[in-house]
Amino acid sequence: MATENVGIFIDSKADLKGFKEAETAAAKLNKNIKTLATSLGVAYGTRAVVNFGKAAVKAFAEDQAATIRLAKAVDNLGMAYANPEITKFISGLEKSSGIVDEQLRPAFQALLTTTKDLGTSYTLLNDAVDISRGSGIDLATVSQDLANGYVGITRGLKKYNTGLTQAQLKTKSFSEVLTVLNKQFSGASAAYLDTYAGKLDILTVAADNAKESIGKGLVDAFARAGGGQSVQDAVKTIESITQAVNALVTTVSFAVEGLVKLYRFFDFIGSLGGLLKVKPQKMAADTTKQQTTIAKTQIKASTALTKAQKTNTAELKKQATLKKAGTVFDLEQIQLVAALKGKLSDEEKLRVEAQLALLNGNVDLAKKLTDQILAAQDSTGNLSKFLSALPNARNPFEYLDAYLSYLAGKAAAIATGQAAPNAPSATATPAPMPSTNVPSAANEPMISYNTMTGLSYNPNANQPVINVTVQGNVIKEQELIQQIQNGTQLASLSGSPSQIGRIAGMFG
Amino acid sequence: MPTVEISGNTELRKALRRFAPDLEKNLRKEMASGLKPVVRAARGFVPAESPMSGWAARSFSEGRFPTYNAQAIQRGITYSTTVSKKSKNGFTSMASIKNKSAVGAIYETAGRKNANGQNWVGPKAGGSGKGVSRSNNPKAGQQFIDNLPPLVSSLQGRGRLIYRAWAEDKGRAHNIVMKAIDKTISEFYARSAAKTLGKAA
């Protein structure tokens, strides 16, 4: 069951895409028809003439180039005298075979350069025309195959289906092969010319020749108009004329437009109203297209920028995360943070915070905290005063002077018999230490560190006292030993279970 | 300054999906919030039992006329926030509420076209036209419609389930949906003017 209409459709809109396309296509068609209709009046004639003029000039130029090419080849063969005759032959053959001279000349050139004989080339070209018509293969190929066959290369002749094998083609002379070919294709050209297509070809040749003739005339005329004699001068003149004609047509079209507006005002030519919309429509379409292109470019650029910004932000975030992770796993910082969480005195806390600040590279905070620590150590300022008032370092060997003088005096006394001088006395006393608020160091007991065992031993520490209380009457050492032996014996005889852990080396 | 102009539902949603997927997602969410209550109410209008004993489901039936099934009707009443396919008249919609099941459509619309049932031609009449009643009972259509609740008119049409729910909603859902669409379009154009649109990956 069709349930298409059983529903509530919200914000329904006509999707006119298809209709719009059809409308646009119809408008375009209408516009084209009008353009064509407009052109038919004035422009088409001019345009056709100009186009025909261009084509004629081009045909003449090509024909002239082919003629010169062949003439040059004939000159090079030392047969320059034969050029008029060749031209006449080509012209005659063109008319009789319905093949344009642009095809005949290269074919003849190929044969002449190979055979180097005019008569043979004429004959072969005639044969080639027949073979080409009979086989359907183009004249240039046939001529080249015949030229190759003339010099013994008969491989290309196989495609004409003469009935000769490759070996026969090789063994037979060219004249024999040509006889076979002529026998097969003789009269093909004449027969072809009897057909409708052949007659059309003859007409084409005639038209082509006419075009070339007209082209020659136009070239001469335009070249003269352009102030020269070459084809290039003629082409320039034609282009100039074309532009002038186009400008004229445009001007005329504007004039017509004005007239149409005027006529429309009088409501005389309502049917020509569509002409007025052609130009604005095109302009609007161009503007829309341009705007769309700009919008697309901007959207593309915006997308690229957003992408780059996103990438940059992501990278920064990544780096920040890594740094944070590195901070989290910095053991030294962990220890410091843990220490801060513990019970610390104010001064200790300051020290830890200062170290933490130094680790994190916070110079200002570290300096501030360090100053606080120093102030806390010496709030009276006496320590710094004492340090600044300290005298210069004394000579540690000062006493040697007095001692040596004493020894010298004593030696002199021995020698002279006089009384010995008094011994020097060390009376220098160091300056007393000032009182500060720095706590005095605790009277640490002497600690020895055994590098072999890693254990510390403090000989000043109190010796541990082990008291063993034994049930019974134990006064002497012997009695203690006896008690232990009895206990051990009793335990072994009682059969109480015992366990031995061999791996751990335990017994119990 | 280039401007972006979008015409048509399909084009709008396509543009939203490509350049502002968050807006499109939000639009669907907001539209759904308006449509859900209507669907819920419409499902609530489906009677649990068949209005006629002869329409109720039976163990064996050779007929092609669907038997009454409340669950099937309820399942078939749904909403959609995607753009509908183009209708034969060339229209598309931004959101819709549908009664998809065949039995639901019958319950919804029976009597809407022919208030007294289709013209009776009887079982022996020739032809294969579907617009006529071929029942043995000449009054089958009339009796069927009489046993159903009356049709309720709404601005979207007449019916017994979704149209009734739409009528009783009194335009609230429509208002929510249209506001959501307008808001999304405005935001989209604003972003377009500010060149902050980003193509979705």
Rounded CA separation A111/A125 (Å): 7
> Please, which residues bridge with residue B77 across strands?
B99
pLDDT at A42: 45
Contact yes or no for A14 and B91 at CB 8 A: yes
- Mean pLDDT value of segment B188-195: 81
Closest B-chain CA to A5: B98
Taking only the tens place, the pLDDT of each residue in A196-209 is 677 667 767 776 77
Closest A-chain CA to B174: A10
- Checking DSSP bridges between strand B119-120 and strand A13-14, what pairing results, if any? unpaired
Structure-token pair, residue A428: 């220098």
Contact yes or no for B178 and A19 at CB 8 A: no
In angstroms, how far is the first alpha carbon of chain B from the final one?
27
Closest B-chain CA to A298: B195
A150-154, A299-303, A347-351, range with the lowest pLDDT: A347-351
- Please determine, for residue B23, whether its predicted confidence score (pLDDT) is greater than 60: yes
* Amino acid in the structure at residue B110: A
- Mean pLDDT value of segment A242-253: 59
B contact test, residue of A8, A287, A291 with most B CBs within 10 A: A8
Sort out which chain B residues have CB atoms less than 8 A from A9's CB and list them. 84, 91, 93, 95-96, 156
Residue B98: what are its φ and ψ, rounded to 5°?
A: -125, 150
Distance from CA of A279 to the nearest CA of B (A): 22
- E strands along B37-192, which residues? 77-80, 91-92, 95-99, 119-120, 132-133, 152-154, 157-159
A349 close to A339: Cβ distance less than 8 angstroms: no
Q: Which of A58-62, A130-134, A257-261 holds the top average pLDDT?
A: A130-134
Closest A-chain CA to B195: A302
- Please determine, for residue A387, whether its predicted confidence score (pLDDT) is greater than 80: no
B contact test, residue of A1, A6, A288 with most B CBs within 10 A: A6
- Please determine, for residue A216, whether its predicted confidence score (pLDDT) is greater than 90: no
Nearest to B197 among A12, A17, A302 (CB): A302
User: Which residue reads 């529903």 in tokens?
Assistant: A7
pLDDT at B111: 93
Instruction: Indicate the pTM of the whole model.
Output: 0.35
Distance from CA of B90 to the nearest CA of A (A): 5
Interface of A with B in 298-337 (CB under 8 A): 298-299, 302-303, 306
Closest A-chain CA to B94: A11
Taking only the tens place, the pLDDT of each residue in B33-65 is 999 999 999 999 999 999 999 999 888 877 788
Rounded CA separation A70/A302 (Å): 64
Q: Which residues of A383-404 are buried (b: 16+ CB within 10 A; e: fewer)?
A: beebeeeeeeeeeeeeeeeeee
Nearest to A11 among B101, B166, B177 (CB): B177
Distance from CA of A297 to the nearest CA of B (A): 10
Contacts 24+ apart (CB under 8 A), B187-192: B187/B20, B187/B23, B188/B6, B188/B12, B188/B15, B188/B16, B188/B19, B188/B20, B188/B23, B189/B4, B191/B19, B191/B20, B191/B23, B192/B3, B192/B4, B192/B19
Rounded CA separation A174/A158 (Å): 13
Closest A-chain CA to B31: A10
- Mean pLDDT value of segment A325-347: 70
Burial of B97 (0-12, 13-18, 19+ CB in 10 A): buried
User: Which residue reads 């910082």 in tokens?
Assistant: A333
Residues 6+ apart with CB under 8 A from A204: A98, A100
Residue of A294 and A506 predicted with greater confidence: A294
Contact yes or no for B2 and A11 at CB 8 A: no
CA within 13 Å, CB half, A56: 23
pLDDT at A220: 66
- Please determine, for residue A177, whether its predicted confidence score (pLDDT) is greater than 60: yes
pLDDT at A53: 61
Q: How confident is the model at residue A300 (pLDDT cuts 50, 70, 90)?
A: confident
Sort out which chain A residues have CB atoms less than 8 A from B198's CB and list them. 302-303, 306
Sort out which chain B residues have CB atoms less than 8 A from A295's CB and list them. 2-4
Nearest to A10 among B86, B96, B199 (CB): B96
Residues 6+ apart with CB under 8 A from A337: A356
Sort out which chain A residues have CB atoms less than 8 A from B92's CB and list them. 12-13, 15
Distance from CA of A296 to the nearest CA of B (A): 9
A144 close to A113: Cβ distance less than 8 angstroms: no
Contact yes or no for B163 and A8 at CB 8 A: yes
- Mean pLDDT value of segment A387-405: 71
Nearest to A18 among B90, B100, B108 (CB): B90
Contact yes or no for B178 and A10 at CB 8 A: yes
User: Which residue reads 């010169």 in tokens?
Assistant: A68
Residue of A448 and A420 predicted with greater confidence: A420
Nearest to A9 among B19, B84, B99 (CB): B84
Sort out which chain B residues have CB atoms less than 8 A from A3's CB and list them. 98-102, 104-105
Sort out which chain B residues have CB atoms less than 8 A from A17's CB and list them. 8
Nearest CA to B76 out of B56, B50, B105, B47 is that of B105
Burial of B76 (0-12, 13-18, 19+ CB in 10 A): buried
Residue B77: what are its φ and ψ, rounded to 5°?
A: -85, 110
Q: How confident is the model at residue A278 (pLDDT cuts 50, 70, 90)?
A: very low
Taking only the tens place, the pLDDT of each residue in A431-446 is 565 565 555 555 555 5
pLDDT at B169: 92
Q: Given CB atoms, is A11 within the 8 Å cutoff of chain B? A: yes
Residues 6+ apart with CB under 8 A from A391: A431
Contact yes or no for A3 and B100 at CB 8 A: yes
Distance from CA of B18 to the nearest CA of A (A): 11
pLDDT at A204: 72
Residues 6+ apart with CB under 8 A from A193: A96, A97, A98, A199, A201, A202
Distance from CA of A31 to the nearest CA of B (A): 25
Q: Round the CA-based radius of gyration of chain A to a whole number and report it.
A: 63
A311 close to A292: Cβ distance less than 8 angstroms: no
pLDDT at A18: 59
A-to-B residue pairs, Cβ atoms closer than 8 angstroms: 100
Closest A-chain CA to B154: A8
Q: What percent of chain B has pLDDT over 90?
A: 63
- Mean pLDDT value of segment A21-42: 58
Contact yes or no for A3 and B102 at CB 8 A: yes
Contact yes or no for A7 and B86 at CB 8 A: no
Interface of A with B in 19-38 (CB under 8 A): 19
A84-98, A242-256, B152-166, range with the lowest pLDDT: A242-256
Distance from CA of B125 to the nearest CA of A (A): 22
Q: What percent of chain A has pLDDT over 70?
A: 55
Distance from CA of A8 to the nearest CA of B (A): 5
